[in-house]
């Protein structure tokens, strides 16, 4: 560190402990930090880049800024765990660019800070999470190229997400304590996981499998069991029709699973999903009328299945305890509904879009949920199929766009 000086990202404090020269003063917007980075870095190493770095502390590795010449203090890591400011991210990227000899793109095009007084302290901003499927990690055999857990978890923190769903079996360690440590190493909390279970087949009891999964929830402090009523076939491209006995068994199993999870302090929710036994509007209504289970509001799967997620949120906000936020190209969704494309083909063609880039009314959904006092998670989940390791940034760019859009909507709703 040069003369005890730090670069701050929001307040204008210089952190100068006794030297002259450029102060790194940011004023109100942080523009000076970006403008001064190259010149300041030429004079030596600095103890921190980001908001409110006060005194040098022992260096800690951070998955986003893993560089020998960038030091992040424990104080700073605590800030990023709660809410990573875009100005801090861009400043640190600029540091990494300069140290690597690249033009600092974040300096050339700094990301503006959110307006002051617009819901920055709203608790919902700390309830934005990720799902591995947004990086193409999926339980369906042959789905596509599967990225490594380390890359996915690192990039979740890069976006500033607070938590993650588990992903498919094998994505995270099966031993609960080990899984909890892996997530802690990436500054992420565990939410729970998408859990596909067979619920409608006589002679098949789904509770033992659910009990096994719930054993790991306590160790990782996970809180939501996201159930999907699978067909028993691979993939989501076709499904059978349920008869009256099948419906009776499925609804009974949903209530049994709800009670089982509640005994362990976990909330069970049903995820209506294309290609499962609960897909369309009539099936969703039947569950709401004849079962006590809460819903996972998956904005994309509901829309593709013929249910307007905004209208469902308006009609039954009290039944929604979890959300999967994705946007949809309705023209591709219509081809799935008509049978011109399979679900997998449509996903490969880009049916799911970043929030704000498709046809889902995200603002209305958030407004209805907020009016009801929703305090659950907003999970960014944009189903993606990869063919190879991305040569550029890859899926994280769409996740970043969705996160920024959702943050903006949450701030507008809270103001």
> Count of alpha carbons within 13 Å of 255, Cβ hemisphere only?
11
Per-residue model confidence as pLDDT tens digits over 65-87:
455 555 544 333 333 333 334 44
Rounded to the nearest 10 degrees, the angle between the axes of helix 362-371 and helix 396-414 is: 50
Mean pLDDT of the region 31-41: 46
Contacting residues for 332 by C-beta, under 8 A, at least 6 apart: 341, 346, 349, 350, 351
Tell me the C-alpha distance between 365 and 362, whole Å: 5
Q: Which of 260, 271, 264 lies closest to 221 in space, CA to CA?
A: 264
Is residue 384 scored above 60 in pLDDT? yes
Mean pLDDT of the region 299-309: 90
Is residue 12 scored above 70 in pLDDT? no
Per-residue pLDDT, 383: 93
Least trusted range by pLDDT, from 15-29, 256-270, 337-351: 15-29
- CA 209 distance to own-chain centroid: 26
pLDDT bracket for residue 90 (50, 70, 90)? low
Mean pLDDT of the region 117-137: 77
Tell me the C-alpha distance between 116 and 254, whole Å: 45
| Number of CB atoms found within 10 A of residue 288's CB | 17
Mean pLDDT of the region 267-294: 90
Q: Which of 139, 168, 170, 135 lies closest to 153 in space, CA to CA?
A: 135
Per-residue model confidence as pLDDT tens digits over 330-340:
999 999 889 99
Contacting residues for 212 by C-beta, under 8 A, at least 6 apart: none
Q: Long-range contacts made by residues 106-109, C-beta under 8 angstroms, separation at least 24? A: 106/34, 107/34, 107/35, 107/37, 107/38
Is residue 24 scored above 70 in pLDDT? no
8 A C-beta contact, residue 192 and residue 379: no
Is residue 144 scored above 90 in pLDDT? yes
């Amino acid at each position: 560190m040069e003369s005890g000086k730090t670069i701050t990202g929001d307040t204008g404090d210089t952190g100068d402990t006794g030297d002259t020269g450029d102060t790194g003063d940011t004023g109100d917007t942080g523009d000076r930090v970006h403008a001064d980075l190259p010149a300041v870095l030429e004079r030596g190493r600095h103890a921190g880049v980001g908001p409110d770095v006060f005194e040098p502390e022992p260096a800690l590795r951070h998955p986003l800024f893993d560089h020998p010449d960038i030091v992040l203090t424990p104080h700073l890591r605590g800030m990023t765990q709660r809410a990573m400011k875009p100005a801090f991210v861009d400043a640190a990227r600029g540091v990494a660019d300069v140290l690597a000899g690249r033009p600092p793109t974040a300096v050339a095009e700094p990301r503006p800070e959110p307006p002051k007084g617009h819901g920055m302290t709203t608790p919902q901003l700390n309830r934005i999470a990720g799902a591995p499927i947004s990086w193409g990690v999926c339980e369906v055999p042959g789905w596509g190229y599967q990225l490594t857990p380390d890359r996915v978890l690192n990039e979740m923190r890069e976006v500033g997400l607070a938590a993650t769903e588990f992903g498919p079996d094998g994505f995270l360690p099966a031993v609960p304590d080990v899984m909890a440590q892996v997530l802690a190493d990436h500054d992420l909390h565990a939410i729970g996981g998408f859990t596909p279970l067979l619920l409608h087949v006589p002679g098949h009891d789904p509770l033992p499998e659910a009990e096994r999964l719930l054993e790991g929830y306590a160790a990782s402090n996970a809180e939501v069991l996201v159930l999907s009523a699978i067909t028993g076939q691979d993939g989501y491209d076709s499904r059978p029709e349920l008869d009256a006995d099948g419906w009776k068994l499925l609804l009974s199993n949903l209530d049994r699973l709800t009670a089982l999870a509640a005994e362990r302090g976990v909330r069970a929710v049903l995820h209506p999903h294309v290609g499962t036994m609960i897909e369309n509007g009539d099936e969703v209504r039947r569950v709401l009328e004849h079962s006590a289970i809460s819903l996972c509001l998956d904005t994309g799967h509901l829309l593709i299945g013929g249910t307007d997620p905004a209208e469902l949120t308006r009609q039954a906000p009290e039944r929604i305890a979890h959300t999967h936020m994705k946007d949809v190209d309705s023209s591709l969704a219509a081809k799935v509904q008509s049978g011109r494309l399979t679900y997998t083909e449509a996903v490969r063609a880009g049916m799911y879009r970043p929030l704000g880039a498709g046809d889902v009314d995200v603002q209305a959904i958030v407004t209805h949920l907020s009016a009801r006092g929703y305090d659950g998670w907003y999970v960014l989940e944009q189903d993606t199929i990869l063919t190879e390791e991305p040569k550029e940034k890859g899926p994280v760019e769409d996740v970043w766009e969705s996160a920024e859009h959702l943050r903006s909507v949450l701030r507008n709703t809270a103001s």
